[in-house]
Amino acid sequence: MIVRIGPNTFEIEYEGKTLAQMMREVGISLDLPCNGRGTCGKCKVRVSGQLSDLTDTEKRHLSSSEIGQGIRLACQAVPTGDCVVSAYSSAGSAAGNILVEGTPMQQQVVSQPLVKKDVVSPPAPAMDDQRYHLDRILDSLAELRPSVDRRKANVSLGTLQSLPDTLSKSDWQLTVAHTGDCVIAVEPGDTTGEHYGAAFDIGTTTVVGYLVDLSSGSQVAVASRTNPQVAHGADLISRITYSSQSVESREALRSEIVSALNDILNELASKAGVAANRIYHCTVAGNTCMTHMLLGLDTSSLATMPYVGVMGRAYHDRASQLGLNIHPDGLITVLPNIGGFIGSDTVAAAIAAGLDGRSGTSLLLDLGTNGELVLVHDREMFACSTAAGPAFEGAQIVHGMRGSAGAIEAVAISPKGLSLRVINGGEPMGICGSGLVDAVAELLRVGIIDFTGRLCPPLELAGRVDPALASRVKEDERGVRFVLFSNSEREISLFQSDVRQLQLAKGAIAAGFSILCKRAGISCSEIDTVFLAGAFGNYINKTAAVRIGMLPGIDEERIVPLGNAAGTGAKMALLSEELLDRADRLAASAIYIELGNDPTFQDEFMNAMMFMEGAAG
């Protein structure tokens, strides 16, 4: 059969495959948030031609106007003959509004990186000085840096093989890139002005990379991508399920993320005009699942009790072992995890917030696909991970989408009516996490949603809610919904099921918060600062978060958004050997609390789902 996808035409053998499977085979990975289970309704494509009949799943997710326009779900529709796919959203293409910047570091970082560069000028060989080339270079280096032990220094075969050529170009002035006990490069002349490293924050949804000048400590370029693994599901469990299918699928996930890192490295290098072989070190922060997948480790045990992964300590290796496109002997450091799903992204965010050196009582909340919480009280640290679910990233919301162009990111109700703010302006295409929290908080305030989370049907609103607002509440076979936007082509609404998803997510966070406070022996209101990290944490309206009771007992003055704190922490660790050590100590000393094991969790969770400030406090 002939299938045309955008400008390309493919001849495909008919094997009863879905459109999504077919497109993946020809190299087009669609965004499949529920990994094709038919629960998210997000894999919409516009297609014409010969296809299987609409499935019940499609009838549930598609409006009659969408069906009329030829919209199908790619994970459900099966081509039965020639067809043309004219519109789709591919995974890993649109970077959207990826949050790349953190707030400035909470502490001054002096640039003392793990990988140093030193210029040495060893004497040329002579009849009365017959030391080997390498020995004379290492002896000179040890004179500069007494900690270097030339007998133990690890030098790669590649460096040795190219040494005669390097020396022939050097006139015995050389630059050595090294960590003290590991030589990364020996270069002719003085190249200390070209000394770079890259820091990565690998999120479940997005990947951000920073190129840093290791001499000056300044960031010289930043680049980001959607994590290409979203083609296997928006949530971690979908990806673990896929990864556990076979060695090949685990390898596919590993190679997808390595490719994304290399794409980012290429972009960083070209933006800054830096050669790849002048990048000597990469630090990586990510949740436990993401870093396991980067290293090609088996993740299946992370999804089943007692949720134990392969490794939590920091991982150091030559970057070439992973196929990263930097100096062939450059290093990679994957930062350490705390426990369970609390990975090195949380450790990096905690370093960025300066939690380990802080007195008083503070909380770090990293909000993304999961919600990670770290509480510091009297220099003791407690951490837990809540299954906040992908609601905040729009995945299980009927008209949800990520925070990219076209997403409703803010909702306000005033005497003048309803107003929406859309990312990049224009007509809305869907609603993202911050818009969802805003919408629910506003509808709670005006009484369209009650404290149990019920969207009140139109009949109950008459006489007590502004008629213009009440007219936006509709009820039909899909239940009650509040229409945020509609025109002849589309309607963007908040459904009852969306409110329930938000209740589950915020209930899990509030319950985790409450349990951490109990373990620390304090009440929730004793927290002096709440650091909000992660993309969603940065964009969320603090007033709305307080109103829905996400952090009971906390007022908005104490909430400090940190931006992409994991990325900031990864940069700090790249710049400072001491901070790399601090990350190790922080990860080892934090007390990991498994919420599923806490006998009070279910009660806390049920309480916290209600929309009452202080419900879980």
The contact set with ligand FES (CB under 6 A) reads 32-34, 36, 38-43, 73, 75
Query: 380: helix, coil or strand?
Result: strand
CA distances in angstroms from 226 to 72, 259, 505, listed in the order given: 23, 12, 23
Q: What is the dihedral of CA 69, 70, 76, 81, to 10 degrees?
A: 180
CB nearer to ligand FES: give 34 or 546.
34
CB nearer to ligand FES: give 26 or 468.
26
DSSP secondary structure letter of residue 273: T
Sign of CA dihedral 9, 14, 15, 19: positive
- Lookup: tokens for 148: 């270097």
Strands 315-318 vs 219-226: parallel, antiparallel or unpaired? unpaired
CB of 24 to ligand FES, least distance (A): 12
CB nearer to ligand FES: give 32 or 167.
32
CB of 43 to ligand FES, least distance (A): 3
CB of 41 to ligand FES, least distance (A): 5
The helix (run of H) or strand (run of E) holding residue 212 is strand 206-213
Q: Which residue has the tokens 């001491």?
A: 578
Are 98 and 539 in contact, with CB atoms under 8 Å apart?
no
CB nearer to ligand FES: give 39 or 166.
39
Are 482 and 447 in contact, with CB atoms under 8 Å apart?
no
CB of 429 to ligand FES, least distance (A): 17
CB nearer to ligand FES: give 38 or 296.
38
Burial of 522 (C-beta count, 10 Å sphere; 0-12/13-18/19+)? middle
Burial of 316 (C-beta count, 10 Å sphere; 0-12/13-18/19+)? middle
Rounded CA separation 367/388 (Å): 8
Rounded CA separation 449/472 (Å): 13
CB of 70 to ligand FES, least distance (A): 16
CB nearer to ligand FES: give 312 or 390.
390
CB of 377 to ligand FES, least distance (A): 41
Burial of 27 (C-beta count, 10 Å sphere; 0-12/13-18/19+)? exposed
Closest alpha carbon to 533 in 380, 400, 364? 364
CB of 37 to ligand FES, least distance (A): 6
Greatest distance between any 2 Cα atoms in the chain: 104
CB nearer to ligand FES: give 225 or 232.
232
CB nearer to ligand FES: give 60 or 271.
60
Are 159 and 108 in contact, with CB atoms under 8 Å apart?
no
CB nearer to ligand FES: give 31 or 187.
31
CB of 57 to ligand FES, least distance (A): 7
CB nearer to ligand FES: give 43 or 436.
43
CB of 47 to ligand FES, least distance (A): 14
CB of 596 to ligand FES, least distance (A): 26
CB of 71 to ligand FES, least distance (A): 12
Query: 151: helix, coil or strand?
Result: coil
**What Rg do the C-alpha atoms of the chain give, in angstroms?**
27
List phi, psi (to 5°) of 41.
65, 25
CB nearer to ligand FES: give 43 or 148.
43
- Lookup: tokens for 33: 């948030």
| Residue closest to ligand FES when measured from CB atoms | 75
Rounded CA separation 373/614 (Å): 18
CB of 118 to ligand FES, least distance (A): 53
Rounded CA separation 520/361 (Å): 10
Rounded CA separation 427/337 (Å): 42
CB nearer to ligand FES: give 73 or 480.
73
Q: Which residue has the tokens 């293409």?
A: 93
CB of 66 to ligand FES, least distance (A): 13
CB nearer to ligand FES: give 88 or 513.
88
| b/e per residue 148-162 (b: at least 16 CB within 10 A) | bebeebebbeebeee
